[in-house]
């Protein structure tokens, strides 16, 4: 049995109280967030839609795309997810919030490649609190029933819904990819970071192998892992793994080895490198 | 000759010693590190060593080369156990042969000191009270980072050997 076809939905319905303006129209590099999200998602799915409230159906920015209007309005993002599954119940949906300025195509491709269609949903684990991120996730057709049950019980939070259900949880290859924007200050900070990142050619993913020894092996719960990451140096990689694997050792106590030789925390990593973080030694 | 090796089975000092024999040598010194039954005031029941093999061998052999150059000894050999070890077992063996005893003693001492500080080998101790811990690692959590930065000797505290 093949997996249901994947449609895409970009959420723009929010009222953005904290931002005090329409988030969909915020621009990065001369393109609106909505245009950027649609450009990223459209090539990866069979069809791509914009989620709207009924009163936004004729908004020119949104009307340029195929739209799906909320069926059960004013419930937050769950309204849009529900409307999409309701409109095309035989399809799986890649749901994407439009306010993710750091999102890159690799993050979406990774999500699609690791989709588990036998589960209710496939989602990333938040870099901040390890909870599922519902606003860059794939909802399978049978999630409609789960959402309707949840709404019937007055439960509208899609995060809470995913944490209670059978979800395939993935670690983010780029831990900052889903950082979102809710205030004017965050918008300014994102612009600054994106400006710096584009000059440092961030966005290129490296495929690395990490080996763990001793106390770090026990904390990580594995001896080795292969990952795709935007980390450019061992220092950045350790910060990423420290969060993801719950490593408690501070980097000041560690040395790093790259390709079986002692390395430097700040030297650039190359695709295919094997990295080992060395806890304080105790031979003899 | 300068060879460093890791072993999952008991070390055999008599065989290691033979590797050092040389007609030009009038002195031989060896050091054996054994598993001790206490550390830091706690009763140790057994140990586990873990090594990062390719780099441990490479760094170990660099130390042996340094010892030969620095002290002018003829041959230097070091073998280290990995895996589970019981109290009393031989954990590390260092041997050096040289023209005279002085440089043999000095080189032997240099090798064991450097091995403890530089070679990526880790030791987990299992205590009588049921607890266990990775030696030198248990106080390296992020929160304790500040206190340790002012202590240059934090990675120089050792148990057995």
User: Which of B33, B50, B145 shows the shortest C-beta gap to A214?
Assistant: B50
Contact A123, A167 (CB under 8 A): yes
pLDDT of residue A54: 83
- Answer whether B116 sits within 8 Å of A284, measured CB to CB: yes
- The mean per-residue pLDDT over the stretch B135-157 comes to 54
How close, in Å, is residue A279 to chain B by CA atoms? 7
How close, in Å, is residue B121 to chain A by CA atoms? 5
- For A50-85, b/e burial (b = at least 16 CB within 10 A) is bbbbeebeebeebeebebbbbeeeebebbbbbbbbb
Name the band, by pLDDT with cuts 50, 70 and 90, for residue A114: very high
- Answer whether B158 sits within 8 Å of A250, measured CB to CB: no
- Answer whether A283 sits within 8 Å of B136, measured CB to CB: no
Q: Between A228 and A200, name the one with better pLDDT.
A: A228
* DSSP letters spanning A87-113: HSTTSEEEEEES--TT--HHHHHHHHH
User: Which of B52, B140, B142 shows the shortest C-beta gap to A213?
Assistant: B52
Gap between the Cα atoms of B84 and A231, Å rounded: 36
How close, in Å, is residue B134 to chain A by CA atoms? 6
Gap between the Cα atoms of A36 and A194, Å rounded: 14
- SS3 label, residue A228: strand
Which residue from A89, A104, A98, A20 is spatially nearest to A65, judged by alpha carbons? Answer: A98
> Does residue A199 surpass a pLDDT of 60?
no
A278 touches chain B (CB under 8 A): yes
> Does residue B156 surpass a pLDDT of 80?
no
Name the band, by pLDDT with cuts 50, 70 and 90, for residue A29: low
Residues 84-103 of B with CB under 8 A from A: 91-92
- Stated as kind and residue range, the H or E segment containing A150 is helix A143-152
- Answer whether B158 sits within 8 Å of A282, measured CB to CB: yes
pLDDT of residue A158: 93
* A161: Cβ contacts below 8 Å, ≥ 6 apart: A78, A134, A146, A147, A150, A155
- SS3 label, residue A226: strand
How close, in Å, is residue B80 to chain A by CA atoms? 8
Gap between the Cα atoms of A108 and A112, Å rounded: 6
Q: What does pTM read for this prediction?
A: 0.55
- SS3 label, residue A53: coil
Count how many pairs of residues, chain A against chain B, have C-beta atoms within 8 Å: 104
Q: What are the start-end ranges of the H helices in chain B?
A: 13-18, 53-71, 101-118, 145-149
Tokens for B137? 């690692």
- Stated as kind and residue range, the H or E segment containing A8 is strand A6-11
Which residue from B84, B61, B53 is spatially nearest to A211, judged by alpha carbons? Answer: B53
Tally of CB atoms within 10 A around A31: 13
Contact A173, A163 (CB under 8 A): no
User: Which of A217, A261, A280 shows the shortest C-beta gap to B136?
Assistant: A280
- The mean per-residue pLDDT over the stretch A237-241 comes to 95
- Answer whether B91 sits within 8 Å of A284, measured CB to CB: yes
Tally of CB atoms within 10 A around A193: 15
Tally of CB atoms within 10 A around A88: 19
pLDDT of residue A45: 94
Chain A residues whose beta carbon lies within 8 Å of the beta carbon of residue B142: 248-250
- Answer whether B51 sits within 8 Å of A253, measured CB to CB: no
* B113: Cβ contacts below 8 Å, ≥ 6 apart: none
Gap between the Cα atoms of A136 and A105, Å rounded: 12
Chain A residues whose beta carbon lies within 8 Å of the beta carbon of residue B161: 283-284
- The mean per-residue pLDDT over the stretch B125-139 comes to 93
Give pLDDT tens digits for B62-101.
Answer: 999 999 999 999 999 999 999 999 999 999 999 999 999 9
Mean pLDDT of chain A: 88
Tell me which chain B residue has its CA closest to the CA of residue A256: B120
- Which residue shows structure tokens 């440089």? B103
- Answer whether A279 sits within 8 Å of B123, measured CB to CB: no
B159 touches chain A (CB under 8 A): yes
Tokens for A198? 């584009």
ipTM of the complex: 0.86
B81 touches chain A (CB under 8 A): no
Substitution target from A224, A252, A255, A283 for chain B, most B beta carbons within 10 A: A283
Q: Is B141 exposed, middle or buried (0-12, 13-18, 19+ CB in 10 A)?
A: middle
B10 touches chain A (CB under 8 A): no
Tell me which chain A residue has its CA closest to the CA of residue B83: A214
B142 touches chain A (CB under 8 A): yes
Name the band, by pLDDT with cuts 50, 70 and 90, for residue B146: very low
- Answer whether B116 sits within 8 Å of A281, measured CB to CB: yes
B111 touches chain A (CB under 8 A): no
* A185: Cβ contacts below 8 Å, ≥ 6 apart: none
How close, in Å, is residue B4 to chain A by CA atoms? 13
């Amino acid at each position: 049995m093949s997996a249901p076809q994947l449609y895409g939905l970009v959420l723009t319905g929010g009222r953005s109280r904290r931002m005090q303006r329409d988030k969909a129209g915020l621009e990065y590099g001369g393109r609106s967030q909505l245009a950027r999200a649609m450009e990223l998602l459209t090539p990866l799915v069979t069809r791509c839609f914009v989620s709207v409230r009924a009163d936004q159906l004729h908004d020119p920015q949104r009307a340029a795309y195929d739209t799906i209007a909320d069926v059960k309005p004013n419930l937050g993002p769950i309204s849009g997810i529900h409307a999409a599954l309701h409109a095309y119940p035989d399809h799986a949906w890649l749901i994407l919030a439009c306010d993710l300025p750091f999102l890159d195509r690799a993050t979406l491709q990774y999500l699609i490649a690791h989709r588990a269609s036998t589960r209710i949903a496939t989602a990333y684990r938040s870099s901040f609190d390890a909870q599922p991120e519902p606003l860059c996730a794939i909802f399978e057709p049978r999630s409609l029933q789960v959402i309707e049950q949840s709404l019937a019980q007055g439960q509208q939070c899609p995060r809470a819904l995913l944490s209670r259900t059978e979800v395939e949880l993935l670690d983010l290859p780029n831990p900052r990819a889903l950082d979102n924007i809710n205030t004017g200050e965050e918008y300014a900070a994102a612009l600054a970071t994106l400006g710096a990142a584009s000059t440092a050619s961030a966005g290129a993913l490296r495929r690395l192998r990490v080996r763990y020894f001793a106390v770090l092996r026990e904390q990580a719960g594995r001896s080795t892992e292969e990952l795709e990451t935007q980390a450019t140096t061992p220092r950045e990689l350790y910060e990423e793994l420290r969060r993801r694997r719950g490593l408690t050792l501070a980097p000041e106590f560690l040395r790093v080895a790259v390709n079986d030789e002692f390395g430097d925390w700040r030297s650039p990593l190359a695709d295919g490198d094997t990295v080992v973080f060395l806890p304080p030694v105790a031979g003899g | 000759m300068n060879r460093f090796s890791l072993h999952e089975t008991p070390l055999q000092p008599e065989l290691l010693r033979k590797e050092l024999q040389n007609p030009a040598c009038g002195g031989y010194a060896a050091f054996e590190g054994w598993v001790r039954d206490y550390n830091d005031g706690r009763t140790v029941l057994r140990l586990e060593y873990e090594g990062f093999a390719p780099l441990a061998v490479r760094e170990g052999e660099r130390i042996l080369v340094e010892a030969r150059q620095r002290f002018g000894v003829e041959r230097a050999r070091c073998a280290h156990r990995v895996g589970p070890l019981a109290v009393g077992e031989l954990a590390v063996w260092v041997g050096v042969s040289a023209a005279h005893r002085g440089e043999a003693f000095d080189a032997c001492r240099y090798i064991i000191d450097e091995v403890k500080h530089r070679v990526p080998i880790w030791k987990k101790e299992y205590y009588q009270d049921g607890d266990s811990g990775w030696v030198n690692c248990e106080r390296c959590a992020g929160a304790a980072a500040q206190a340790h930065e002012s202590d240059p000797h934090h990675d120089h505290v050792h148990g057995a050997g």
